Structures are given as structure tokens and as C-alpha cells.
Structure 1
Amino acid sequence: MGLDSKQVALLVLLVASVISVVIALILSLVKSSEVPLPPGTKYGMVFDAGSSHTSLFIYQWPTDKENNTGVVSQTHVCDVEGPGISSYANDPPSAGKSLVACLEEAMNIIPPEGQRGAPAYLGATAGMRLLDLKNKTASDMVLSEVSKTISRYPVDFRGARIISGKEEGSYGWITINYLLESFMKYSFGGRWVRPVSSKIYGALDLGGASTQISFIPKVEIADPEQRADFKLYGFPYSIYTHSFLCYGQNQALKQMLVKAVEGKDLSQPINIPCYPAGYKSTIAQASLYNSPCTVKSAPSSSLVQDITITGTGNSTQCQDLLKTIYDFSSCTGKEFCSFEGIYQPPVVGKFFAFSAFFYTFDFLNLTSGQDLPTVKSRIQTFCAQDWTELQASFPKERTDRLREYCANANYVLTLLLDAYKFNENNWNSISFMKQAADTDIGWTLGYMLNLTNMIPSEASASVRTQSYDVWIAAVFFIVLTLALGLLMLVLYFR
């Protein structure tokens, strides 16, 4: 039975409508893409409670993360007024009060909606380690008071504690390599990738009470006590790291003075080659032995005498004196050893030296990659200057700091050359730096990076989008379908 013209027309319109609907559906599905919405921002705070001062570092990172490690950047740093918290052993409440100004500053920087979820930590380093050895009760009270103060603020406070020297060294190593994109690099494709030939840098840290060395050696790390393991951005790392308590520059110079007065007639002035010629002062004998680093060297007699010290400004004699504070004899017969019998494989690769390493050499304009002979020559020239001449040349410098630059510079040399075993051939592998990528180098950023693994990852929200031309085409075919349908109805009822 054949179709009349009306039925044929209706059939054609029906087929055209079906085709139009199919095309519209296909266009609505193809060429769409998942476009992530901008991630939110989280904040974190870390107090670096060092032996001589405390600083608050504020960090931020997007809520979406890369391989369980947050993309963290420094937002702000606030230096706490006054000495380190270990100095408040006799007045613990004042340790807490000293943090208030920086906490108030942080609350003005972190948006109110981000404060409750901002993890906050206080890490105390070698100064508190020494106080803990000398007076644990006082140490606990200081930590308790700073905890009370931080807890009053609307942040996610997760505790104040004394971090180990191993943590301090390894987190400093993480900081450097993170900032230099040794772990991950942002690609042109708009994502983070691991560099094909990534350079991993070693870390050299020098504080007031301790010094740390951390690097990846070429040999297997024989002593598990000096090994730290991390997994960052999905990749494992094993590093050698050790912290020498009592060998930060302040405690080292205290040990130097103890060695200088040993066996001497204290009724006569004691010559100190590490101090400028013409410098003269009087110190209390007891002040030399009030630290766990020197108390074992205290004479059995009462420590009531005042000691007169005079500077002689001799760099070579200063280095000879400083070398006596190290125990190299315990390394006899050991293949890989620094001092005090501590295992250390040979240094290898590039190193970043920061904190007091940088500040000392920066004052002497020695942070531009000078070779070792130039460094030694400049230090000798500086140490040979008369005290009066130095004061005239640097009128704004604090007296105690100016007095100790010669001693500190020579201490850096003995520590790097005699203790850590650098030499003229690899001296230029050390870069003396304060910052990298506009961020302070230290352990706090590495600490925060590691702790972001404990912050749950938030799924990034997304919306489905289409290009404009595809959207216009889909609308056209939908309208065409409706028009054909309307035409079919008109023809059918006529």
C-alpha cells in the first residue's frame, strides 16, 4: 500500500526531527571538558624558637595538593622582640607574652575564614635543648606558657615542642631543595613534574647553640642514627644528617674562651687572638661555665674571680685556638668521621650554607663565590684591624657583634674545613645564602611541607564547560527540532 503525499511529508519531517535531536545530543556531549574551579587557600604558622631569638613564619598553600605534598609558599615573617624563649627560664610567663605581638600581626594577615583551620606549631631548637638538659622543669614551664598564649588565638594549635637536631637538619635540607625545585618543577603544560636530571643540594646550618649538616652521599649510609628518610611528591629520599649540639657559634666561642683561660694565671690579662687588637673587657669566671656545653670543664675551685681579656687580632692563632674545642682524637682509625667519633661520609655535591654561616660571611662581603685563598686573606686582613679602627669603620654595629666577627669567621673556616672536611678543591661547591626564591632558608618551611601530608586533601570542585561555537550549534539544532515538530503537527491536523 503506497503512501500519499501528506504521509510522505510527515515521514520526512519525522526523520529530520530525529536526526536534529541526535545531532543536538552529540554536540551537547562532545568537546566538553572538566575545568577545575580555583582552589581555596590554607594557611599555616610555625614559630622558630631559636637559642638567640624567635621568628614566626606564615605559610599558605592551595587546598589541592601534588602527590600528598602541599605547594607551600612563605607569606610573611615576624621577628619576635627580645631573646630566645630559653632565656625566660626564670620567668616563663614572659616567654608567652613575647609572642603576642607577632600573633596579633598574624591574625591581621590570615583571613578570618582561614584562621580556624590554620595549623600552628612552635618548634624550639638548640637553646631549649640545652635548657632541657640543664633544668627540665624550667624547660617544661616555658613550653607550657608559650602553649597557653598561642592557644588563646583562633588557630588550630598543634603543640609546642623541642625538635631534635636530626629534624632541624633534615627539614632545612627539604626547604632548600623545595625552593630550588629539586623535587618538582612547574612545567609549561601547567602541571608539576619531577625534573629529569634533578640536582639535590646539601644543607649547612649554623645557629647559636648547634650546627647541622645534611646531604645525600655517594656511599651507603653506614650509621642508621645519621640517616633520615622522606617521601616527597611521591618519591623516596634518604639523606645523611647530623646535628652537633654545643657547636653553634655562641656556644663554640664560649668553649673557645674556656680553652683560652685553661691553666692560665687569671690574675693577669688573658690574650684572646680571636678578638681585635686593643679590645679589652672583664668577664665573670662563672659566666664561662654556666652552660651544659662547658660545665664539665669548670675547675674545682670556686668561680668567683673576674677575668680580664685582651684581644690580639691574629687569625692564624685564632684558628689554632678554635681547633682545640673539637675532639678529633676519637676519629682515629675511622674511615669516615667528622669529630667526636661521629660518622660522616665524604661531602659531595653542591651545598647551601645559611643562618649564621651567611650572616658572618655577608658582613665580610664573602658571599659572592670567592675562592678559599681569597676568603682566608680577607679574614686575616679583617682580624688584623685595631679595635678603635673597627669601631670607627662600623659605628652602627653592635659592640658584641663587631668584637666577634673575627672569631666567628675563623670558626666557620675550622668547622667547614677541619670538621666537615671541605677543602680547596670543593670549597666553591658551597653557596652562602639567606634566601632562595624570595623565601627564608631554614627548617620551618621543610617542617610545614612535611606536615601537610597530615592535612586531608580537599577534592577540587569542577564544572563542565563547552566552547562557544559548539554551544551555538547545539542551540540551532534544538530550535530546528522544535520547528520541525511544530510543522509536523500543523500538517497532521490539516
Structure 2
Amino acid sequence: MCPSLLRSVWGTFTALQWCFWGILGAEHSGRYGMVFDAGSSHTSLYVYEWDSDKENDTGVVSQTLSCDVQGPGISSYANNPPKAGDSLKECLDKALKVVPTEKQRDVPVYLGATAGMRLLRLRNSSAADQILAEITKTMQEYPVAFRGARIITGEEEGAYGWITINYLLESFTKYSPKAHTWVRPEAANILGALDLGGASTQISFIPKGSVINWNETSRFMLYGYNYNIYTHSYLCYGQNEMVKRLAKELILQGEELVLIEHPCYPKDYNETISLSSFHTSPCTNASDPRLSPSDRNVTLEGRGNASGCLVAIRKLFNFSACGQSQDCTFDGVYQPPISGQFFAFSAFYYNFKFLNLTEGQSLATVRETIERFCTRSWEDLSSSYPEENPGRLPKYCANANYILTLLLDAYKFNESSWNNIVFQMKAGSADVGWTLGYMLNLTNMIPAEAPGLLKGQAPSLWAAAVAFITLTLALGLVALLLLLRV
């Protein structure tokens, strides 16, 4: 037997072995991405990881880290923009500890600012620009592929949240072991998204039939299928801005009184606020002629009146602007009738979780629980919840009644459709929010066209690996027979 031929066969066999192990290594070589969610009241950083060979397929993305940035939202640094950049460093340092050093420079990093910065831009656009510039300056000091800091629109926030939920719940596509292919679940599995932040709230869902007002619709081509979703964002209707607007209206109703009854606050709870605080947000309408120019203090005195609280909160909405139209929420905003199941997250979830109302309770039970909670005194609440933030505890009654008003009166959920709402904050091991959808979109990890895997191909490089194994064994056997003959 020719020794050179034997060496050639053996060399091919060895090379194929290296190729095979390279394939297995590639299968487990992860890629990373980071997104900062710069909200109105705080900022969070999320680190995501996915297999590198899945970028143009269905890419199963997992959340590797979440980190809450210390301090308030970046919009609060209007008078000290460099501090906005500095505030992110601790979380960035933590994030880099979970990303291998050799991969850090390829990690795409994004920062999206939401309603807090939208409001600051309305009030002081140069301060908003300066904050984003300082954040960019800080990010460029780190060994990552920073892709920019920007203020996203409310509709983007709603749409990306919708993508996140349905991606994590495999509503767009999932692998079927039985069929050995990627399949598209029934459209009924697509969930709507309900998001409540500090300064804005969003609703996104696929309406039944045609949508009249296309200005309120986002169109997506995902995995080869078209999705037309209705999405709308309500600036100034986040829970923190709602609390401020409610206080302002109660004070104005009390005219020049220095002691004002607050139906939503617990009995025996008092809070003193300055009228000048209403001038810091466009939501409380700094130019309102009813606001006294003097900087006087007013004390809000809790009454623990559940029905009175609901009445006061309803006055924050202009329901009469809709007339008799059913395709309208409030302030004359068009919305097609809700349809399907909904995933309610962020402050929807946190408020109801505190009240133990996230286990699918009926609407009657929810109403009764909220009403009972609202009648509890401040002494009772503070002794029952010693661990709870004392600044947040007196506001749960207002927040819960606000959620009821928004969902029932504005979005028009009712006794039967209420059970279609799931209050949750995680899907699998990942937090639900707009950040994952934002990263998936910007890294093109959800292709517009149906990937080859949707047409019946194997779900990874394992098919190629199997072929290599078969060929390797065959060549190994040939090499062994040749050796024996020699």
C-alpha cells in the first residue's frame, strides 16, 4: 500500500476531527448584547446571550444579567448631565464580568430613554441632548461596541414590548421535535401587551378585522409573516405623573385651603407638598392659570375613601371627548375593540403583586381587595408592611384604582375579558419589557423572511455535525483497514 496515500487518508481523517470539534465549539460559542432601559424613575441594564449560529434564524436569547442602576432616572440629572453618565458605570462594570474578555469589543450596547426623557425634551431639549451626550462619552470609555443613546417614541416602546413578550413565549415560531421543523403557532397565541411606567403607559395588540386609523398601527414582517398591531402610548398617564396630576387637581378644587382632603391616601397619613413642584413637569401644566404663582405649601390629608378615590381619578381622563364612540379610549384617542389575551407587566404587575392579585382572581375579587385595602389606616399599613418603601406604601390605593380605571373605562375590558389579562413580569427566565424587542430588532435577530429552518432544515449546525461524524467514522475505518494491510 502506498504510504503517501495512507498519510493522506489519515490527514483527512484528522482534519475532519478538528472540523467536527470546531462545529461543536461554534454551537456553544455565545454572543452578547446589552440594553439600558432609561425610564422616568430609574434605569436598568439587561445583558442578553445567544448562540452565534442563530443570528439569522430563531435565536434563543437568554437573559444573563439584570442590574438596577443606583439613583433616579437619567432625566433627573438635567442640572448635572455628567452624573447621568457616571451613574451607569457600576452596572457596566458588573456586566463586563459576565462577558468573556475576548468578546467584549463585539458586544452591541444600546441605551433607550423613555417617557422621563420625552418630558425633559419638551421642557428643555438642550438639557436632554446634553444628558445623552454625557452618556455617550461614558460608554465610549468602555471596551464595547456602543451603538448609541436615544429617546425612543412611546409607540416604539409599546411595539418592542409586544415583540419581547411574544418572542419569549414562542408565539412567532417554535421548533417542533415531532415534525423536525420550525412551525408557526396559531395566531390565537399572540398576546397583547400592557405596559405601565412612571410617566407613560402603552397598549399594543392585534385587532380583529381591519384597523380604521392606520396612524396608530405598527407593521412588522417577522419570520415571513405580516403583523399589523395597534399600539398607542399615553404620555403623562404613567403612575408617578398620575399621582402628581391627582394632587394638583385636589389642591385646585380646594382653592386657597392649606389642608386638602385626599381620598386615596390612607386615613391619618399626611403629605406636605409645594405648589412649585407642579412647575417641573409638562404633565402638571406649568402654565395652568389656576396655579398660584406663590410658592406656598399645602398638606394633603388622607381619608381612605375608596369610592371617592375612584371618582377623583376618573376626573383625570376626558371620557366625554369620545362621545358615543366605542372605538375610543379617552381624550378622543382611537382604539379598536380589544381582542385576545394580554400580558400586563411593569407597574401593572408590581402594584397587583403587592396586593396579591396576580393569580387570576376575578374582577369582583380584585375590586373588593382594592376597596378593603384603601380603607386601612396609615398606622395599620405601616405596621403591616415594615419592609415596604414608606414613600410608595401610601400610593398603592391610588395606583390600584388608577389601573382599574385605565383597564375598564379607557381600554374597555369587562367582567368576561378581564380573565384574558395575565399579570406577570417574567417569561421564562427573562424580564419582560421593551429592551429585548429593541435589541432583537437592531441586531436583525428576527428576520423578516422566513429562515431556512422554517422550511424543514435541521435546527442548528448539528445536522452538519452528524454528517461529519458519519464521514469521519467511515474514513477512520478505511484508515484502520489500510494500516492492517500494511
Q: TM-score, normalised by structure 1?
A: 0.86
Decide which of 297, 301, 308 is 1:317's aligned counterpart: 308
1:224, distance to aligned residue in structure 2 (A) = 1.8
Superposed CA deviations along residues 363-416 of structure 1, whole A, max 9, x for unmatched, are 000000000010000101110011111111111212111110111111110010
Query: 2-side partners of 1:109 and 1:364: how far apart?
Result: 35
1:66–1:192 Cα contact (<8 Å) kept: no
The equivalent residue for 1:127 is: 116
Query: 2-side partners of 1:183 and 1:55: how far apart?
Result: 27
Aligned to 2:111, what secondary structure does the other structure show?
Answer: strand
Q: Does 1:146 align with 2:135?
A: yes
Query: 2-side partners of 1:289 and 1:333: how far apart?
Result: 35
Give the number of aligned pairs.
Answer: 453
Q: Cα 1:438–1:479, aligned 2, differ >3 Å: closer, same or farther?
A: closer
The equivalent residue for 1:382 is: 373
Aligned to 2:371, what secondary structure does the other structure show?
Answer: helix
Decide which of 244, 248, 261 is 1:258's aligned counterpart: 248
Query: 2-side partners of 1:191 and 1:445: how far apart?
Result: 27
Q: Which aligned pairs between 1:454-465 and structure 2 lie closer than 5 A?
A: 464-465=468-469
**Residue segments in structure 2 that go unaligned for 5+ positions in a row:** 1-8, 14-18, 452-459
The equivalent residue for 1:58 is: 47
Q: Does 1:160 align with 2:149?
A: yes
The one-letter code of the counterpart of 1:247 is Y
Q: Cα 1:433–1:196, aligned 2, differ >3 Å: closer, same or farther?
A: closer
Aligned to 1:297, what secondary structure does the other structure show?
Answer: coil
Q: Cα 1:117–1:455, aligned 2, differ >3 Å: closer, same or farther?
A: farther
Q: Does 1:442 align with 2:446?
A: no
1:460, distance to aligned residue in structure 2 (A) = 6.5
Decide which of 210, 217, 230 is 1:220's aligned counterpart: 210
1:320, distance to aligned residue in structure 2 (A) = 0.7
The one-letter code of the counterpart of 2:408 is L
Q: Which aligned pairs between 1:92-103 and structure 2 lie closer than 5 A?
A: 92-103=81-92
Q: Which aligned pairs between 1:405-420 and structure 2 lie closer than 5 A?
A: 405-420=396-411
The equivalent residue for 1:336 is: 327
Aligned to 2:211, what secondary structure does the other structure show?
Answer: coil
Decide which of 258, 272, 276 is 1:282's aligned counterpart: 272
Q: Which aligned pairs between 1:398-437 and structure 2 lie closer than 5 A?
A: 398-437=389-428
The equivalent residue for 1:108 is: 97
1:469, distance to aligned residue in structure 2 (A) = 6.8
The equivalent residue for 2:281 is: 291
1:67–1:233 Cα contact (<8 Å) kept: no
Q: Does 1:271 align with 2:261?
A: yes
Q: Does 1:474 align with 2:478?
A: yes
The one-letter code of the counterpart of 1:46 is V
The equivalent residue for 2:6 is: none
Query: 2-side partners of 1:66 and 1:152: how far apart?
Result: 27
Identical-residue share of aligned pairs (%): 53
1:222, distance to aligned residue in structure 2 (A) = 1.6
Q: Cα 1:96–1:66, aligned 2, differ >3 Å: closer, same or farther?
A: closer
Query: 2-side partners of 1:448 and 1:298: how far apart?
Result: 44
Query: 2-side partners of 1:471 and 1:96: how far apart?
Result: 59
2:56–2:445 Cα contact (<8 Å) kept: no
Decide which of 181, 189, 193 is 1:203's aligned counterpart: 193
The one-letter code of the counterpart of 2:327 is F
2:258–2:297 Cα contact (<8 Å) kept: no
1:85, distance to aligned residue in structure 2 (A) = 0.3
Aligned to 2:36, what secondary structure does the other structure show?
Answer: strand
**Residue segments in structure 1 that go unaligned for 5+ positions in a row:** 1-23, 29-33, 484-494
The one-letter code of the counterpart of 2:470 is Q
Decide which of 30, 48, 57 is 1:41's aligned counterpart: 30
Aligned to 2:53, what secondary structure does the other structure show?
Answer: coil
Q: TM-score, normalised by structure 2?
A: 0.87
Query: 1-side partners of 2:57 and 2:212: how far apart?
Result: 30
1:289–1:297 Cα contact (<8 Å) kept: no
The one-letter code of the counterpart of 2:207 is P
1:468, distance to aligned residue in structure 2 (A) = 7.7
The equivalent residue for 1:358 is: 349
Q: Which has the larger radius of gyration?
A: 1
Q: Cα 1:183–1:452, aligned 2, differ >3 Å: closer, same or farther?
A: same
Deviates more, 1:124-133 or 1:469-478: 469-478
Deviates more, 1:63-72 or 1:384-393: 63-72
1:69–1:449 Cα contact (<8 Å) kept: no
Deviates more, 1:123-132 or 1:174-183: 174-183
The equivalent residue for 2:364 is: 373
2:58–2:445 Cα contact (<8 Å) kept: no
